[in-house]
């Protein structure tokens, strides 16, 4: 039996989910798309952010998204530190690509296992006033637990876009991605710029983790589902394109939501990876690639 | 001449395995030995593609599980015996390997790695939704009585010794042949190799297929070993991490590296699982992997070589 209501609901939920996916993928767009650092550990930092939100929420009753915002400076410092280690061990020696990839894969694994050692493999969730409420727009329900993360995701996208196009440091990041040597000749230090950009990427990851735990409960191994999603979105959107990331996120959100509604949720994960494989095989430059 | 000696050593190792099977030590030893040997196969197979050709495969679980699920399918459909399951598991996984070999035409380096990870999740989703082999519920294996040695634990141990020896010998002969030199050339610079007349595509297809075949072989006896297989355990991320950590720790450019890495790390994990906890041993793998990648990129083999040249 086919119902238009169901379809409309699935599409709206997909668009809202897309706004959240954009938040998760922004950091990868920045680090992988612009800096060429294959930060495959990005989803692990998302989950770390989600657990920080969980801990603050369950012990102090702090709002998860507020926690996410409050902790961004800490994650910025962590991210900057990770980049420094990565730079000293791989980039400076000129063997970044494959060994660097293994480094981040190991990092992902360490974070995941450490979280499951500390908090076990039970699903963790947060409580906030807007979770569980929804508004009804002519048969289409909009859940606040999806709407709020979507709005925050859109705000993050806009902020990153403005940062990259309007500020000095943002333009310097764009400069690093195009020509490091030229930037060096202009008197800027590319390593410092990259450290800043990587820190921002990890800070964005932690904030999107707070959004994640607002949407649904989280276990340490949730990061695996997001590896495919974030890279599918970054590749599909075109590496380093912030607008492309948003468009690709919404495409993926709607596709997954439709798949889950029509064929059952166990298939929805295959959508992102299918899109990723297809995008890589057919058009590696993505929709808005340079 | 040296190949003949290597084969003799291999036969000697199998003989040793048989001897061990005859001695009857504590049954847990066979159980633990199976896991370590399984990792010797996985690490050596992974290294044919990842170490020799330099294409890092994150999709080890897909190949391993495909071997295991091919075995389950044959068990359920035909009641096939173990040798048939192992061969078929290898062939099906080898076919998947051939598939990712063609992917290398468009995807280099990092993109290839991400694609193999994606592949692993897609295959897992297909298996979860395939009820014939148990789907998400898992599949319980009913083993016939063991034909030799009186127990499956001991029999599977001997099977694993044999498979490990074959895998290592094949990996060694690939490394020493013109194929190994061709793969090393394309690892260092694919375009230059192609220009020099190295048939890069054919070599890559060979490497992905062979690597996939042995990863499948490693997975095929798995259902008989655990007697209950579910997608989460067959597609465990641990296989992806170990497959890459073991060669990285041992050294990726020679066949010895993965064997050293698998024996050291595999044994350490078994000891840690018994004495500490299984979660903590995974943490150790991750930490050791990161430390080695950062501090000793050439692995133990590279460290030894540096010490000797001093």
CB atoms near residue A100 (< 10 Å):
22
Q: What are phi and psi of A218, to 5 degrees?
A: -130, 140
B chain contacts of residue A224, beta-carbon cutoff 8 Å: 121, 237
* 8 Å CB contact of A280 and B107: yes
% of chain B with per-residue pLDDT over 70: 99
Give the A:B interface size as CB pairs under 8 Å.
111
A285 touches chain B (CB under 8 A): no
SS3 B79: coil
Residue B281 has pLDDT above 90, yes or no: no
Structure tokens at A50: 């989600």
Mean pLDDT of B67-81: 88
Q: Give the Cα separation of B93 and B95 in Å (integer).
A: 5
Note the pLDDT tens digit of each residue in B168-221. 999 999 988 898 888 888 888 888 888 888 888 899 999 999 999 999 999 999
Q: Return all residues near A64 (Cβ < 8 A) that are at least 6 apart.
A: A53, A54, A56, A57, A126, A128, A210, A213, A214
The average confidence (pLDDT) of chain A is: 85
pLDDT category at B91 given cuts 50, 70, 90 is very high
A117 touches chain B (CB under 8 A): yes
* 8 Å CB contact of B119 and A231: no
Can you give the pLDDT at residue A221?
Answer: 83
Report the residue from B106, B240, B244 with minimal CB separation from A281. Answer: B106
Mean pLDDT of A261-275: 78
Note the pLDDT tens digit of each residue in B38-55. 999 999 999 999 888 888
% of chain A with per-residue pLDDT over 70: 95
* Closest alpha carbon to B239 in B87, B102, B41, B52: B41
For an interface test with A, the pick among B96, B121, B233, B248 (most A C-beta atoms closer than 10 Å) comes out as: B121
Can you give the pLDDT at residue A267?
Answer: 77
Q: Which residue has better confidence, A108 or A263?
A: A108
A chain contacts of residue B248, beta-carbon cutoff 8 Å: 102
A84 touches chain B (CB under 8 A): no
Q: Pinpoint the alpha helices (H) of A186-222.
A: 190-215
Q: Give the Cα separation of A237 and A224 in Å (integer).
A: 20
Q: Give the Cα separation of A35 and A57 in Å (integer).
A: 34
Mean pLDDT of B81-92: 91
Note the pLDDT tens digit of each residue in B230-250. 888 888 888 888 888 888 888
- With contact defined as beta carbons under 8 Å apart, do B46 and B258 qualify? yes
Mean pLDDT of A129-153: 81
A219 touches chain B (CB under 8 A): no
In chain B, where the domains are located: 2-236
B chain contacts of residue A232, beta-carbon cutoff 8 Å: 118
- Length of chain A, in residues: 290
pLDDT category at B92 given cuts 50, 70, 90 is very high
Structure tokens at B34: 């199976």
Q: Give the Cα separation of A141 and A149 in Å (integer).
A: 16
Mean pLDDT of B101-116: 81
Mean pLDDT of B117-121: 84
Mean pLDDT of A35-42: 87
- With contact defined as beta carbons under 8 Å apart, do A154 and A22 qualify? yes
Residue B128 has pLDDT above 80, yes or no: yes
């Amino acid at each position: 039996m086919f119902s238009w209501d169901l379809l409309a609901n699935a599409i709206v939920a997909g668009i809202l989910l897309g706004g959240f996916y954009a938040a998760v993928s922004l950091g990868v767009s920045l680090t992988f798309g612009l800096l060429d650092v294959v930060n495959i550990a990005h989803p692990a930092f998302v989950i770390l952010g989600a657990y920080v939100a969980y801990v603050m929420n369950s012990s102090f009753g702090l709002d998860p998204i507020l926690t996410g915002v409050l902790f961004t400076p800490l994650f910025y410092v962590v991210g900057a530190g990770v980049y420094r280690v990565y730079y000293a061990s791989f980039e400076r020696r000129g063997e970044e690509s494959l060994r660097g990839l293994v480094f981040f894969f190991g990092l992902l694994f360490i974070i995941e296992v450490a979280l499951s050692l500390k908090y076990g493999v039970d699903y963790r969730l947060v409580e906030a006033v807007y979770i569980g409420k929804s508004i009804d727009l002519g048969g289409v329900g909009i859940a606040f637990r999806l709407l709020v993360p979507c709005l925050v995701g859109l705000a993050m996208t806009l902020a990153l876009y403005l940062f990259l196009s309007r500020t000095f440091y943002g333009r310097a990041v764009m400069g690093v991605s195009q020509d490091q040597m030229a930037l060096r000749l202009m008197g800027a230090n590319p390593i410092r710029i990259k450290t800043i950009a990587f820190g921002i990427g990890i800070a964005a990851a932690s904030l999107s983790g707070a959004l994640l735990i607002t949407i649904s409960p989280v276990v340490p191994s949730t990061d695996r589902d997001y590896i495919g999603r974030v890279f599918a979105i970054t590749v599909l959107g075109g590496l380093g394109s912030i607008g492309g990331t948003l468009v690709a996120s919404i495409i993926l959100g709607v596709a997954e939501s439709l798949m889950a509604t029509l064929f059952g949720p166990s298939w929805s994960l295959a959508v992102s990876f299918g899109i990723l494989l297809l995008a890589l095989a057919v058009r590696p430059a993505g929709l808005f690639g340079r | 001449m040296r190949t003949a000696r290597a084969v003799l050593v291999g036969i000697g190792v199998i003989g040793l395995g048989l001897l061990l099977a005859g001695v009857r030590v504590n049954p847990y030893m066979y159980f633990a030995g199976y896991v370590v040997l399984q990792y010797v196969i996985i690490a050596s197979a992974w290294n044919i593609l990842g170490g020799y050709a330099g294409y890092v495969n994150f999709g080890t679980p897909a190949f391993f599980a495909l071997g295991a699920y091919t075995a389950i399918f044959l068990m359920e459909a035909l009641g096939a015996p173990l040798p048939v399951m192992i061969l078929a598991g290898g062939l099906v996984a080898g076919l998947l390997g051939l598939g990712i070999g063609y992917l290398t035409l468009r995807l280099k380096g990092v993109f290839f790695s991400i694609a193999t990870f994606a592949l692993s999740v897609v295959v897992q989703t297909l298996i979860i939704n395939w009820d014939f082999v148990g789907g998400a519920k898992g599949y319980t294996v009913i083993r016939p009585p063991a034909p030799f040695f009186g127990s499956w634990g001991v029999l599977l141990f001997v099977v694993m010794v044999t498979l490990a020896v074959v895998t290592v010998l094949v990996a060694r002969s690939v490394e020493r042949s013109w194929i190994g030199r061709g793969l090393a050339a394309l690892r260092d610079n694919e375009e230059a190799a192609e220009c020099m007349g190295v048939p890069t595509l054919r070599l890559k297809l060979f490497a992905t297929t062979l690597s996939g075949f042995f990863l499948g072989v490693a997975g095929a006896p798995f259902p008989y070993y655990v007697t209950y297989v579910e997608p989460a355990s067959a597609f465990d991320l641990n296989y992806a991490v170990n497959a890459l950590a073991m060669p990285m720790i041992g050294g990726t450019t020679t066949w010895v590296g993965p064997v050293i890495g698998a024996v050291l790390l595999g044994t350490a994990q078994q000891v840690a699982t018994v004495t500490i906890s299984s979660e903590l041993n995974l943490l150790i793998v991750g930490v050791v992997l990161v430390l080695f990648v950062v501090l000793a990129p050439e692995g133990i083999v590279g460290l030894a070589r540096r010490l000797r040249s001093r």
